[in-house]
Amino acid sequence: MVQNPNTNQFKKIISVDLNVEPSPINTLTSVSEFKTDPNWFFDSMLDPLISVEFDFGTKIEDNVRKIQSRRYIIDFARSSTGELTTLGQSALESFNQLYNGSTNIEITAFENWHRTTPGVVEPNNPRFDEQIFDLMPNNLLYDGIFNVISAEEDRINRKLYYVLNTLNYRVINIHR
């Protein structure tokens, strides 16, 4: 907390180590509905652009500001007529058995599967579409006045606790 001596206002300063990886998201809900959007950039001439929505509200920490999304595009081996080869069909069946409809795909296991499965075209150079999504910063929920009597330091847990005499506040924004 920082106090402005001229106006007797306090500001909360939150410091975050940006070099720390966020907690992994281990599972997602199953996709049951697709959304269509106009594709102004003609991503491989796919129009409309098909997308899905996920609610990450309980899955990410408050200090995360961006999400990296990666969509892998797997090419299976085909003959000159466009039919799947025997290895291509085997790789497709392996993919369907291991990953199709799964919500808890571990990226390192998938990349290893892509690299080592016969019938996958260019196994060491996976094709993917990557996007970075910006997240909205947290909104200030409360505003108020308080009196600090003392501060206590917890050296074991590396926390600082403030003992307050009074705390008067109001809710600024109830929507997050």
**Does 103 share its domain with 176?**
no
State the residue range of the domain holding 161: 139-176
**Does 127 share its domain with 145?**
no
The pair of three-digit structure tokens given for residue 73, joined into one six-digit string = 């595009």
Q: What is the DSSP string of 52-120?
A: -----TTTS-TT--EEEEEEEEPPBPB-TTS-B-HHHHHHHHHHHHHTTT-S---HHHHHHHHHH-TTB
| pLDDT above 90: percentage of residues in the chain | 24
* Better pLDDT: 49 or 150: 150
Radius of gyration of the chain from Cα atoms? 25
Is 68 part of a structural domain of the chain?
Answer: yes
pLDDT at 6 over 70: no
Is 167 part of a structural domain of the chain?
Answer: yes
Is 18 part of a structural domain of the chain?
Answer: no
In this prediction, residue 22 carries a pLDDT of: 78
Q: What's the total number of domains in the chain?
A: 2
**Does 43 share its domain with 121?**
yes
**Does 126 share its domain with 155?**
no
According to DSSP, residue 145 is labeled E
Is 94 part of a structural domain of the chain?
Answer: yes
In this prediction, residue 176 carries a pLDDT of: 47
Bridge partners of 164, per DSSP, are 148
Kindly report the pTM of this predicted structure: 0.57
Question: Can you say whether residue 113 is alpha, beta or left, with left for phi > 0 and alpha for psi between -120 and 50 degrees?
Answer: alpha
Is 127 part of a structural domain of the chain?
Answer: yes
Only one residue has tokens 């919500």, namely: 103
**Does 64 share its domain with 124?**
yes
pLDDT at 115 over 70: yes
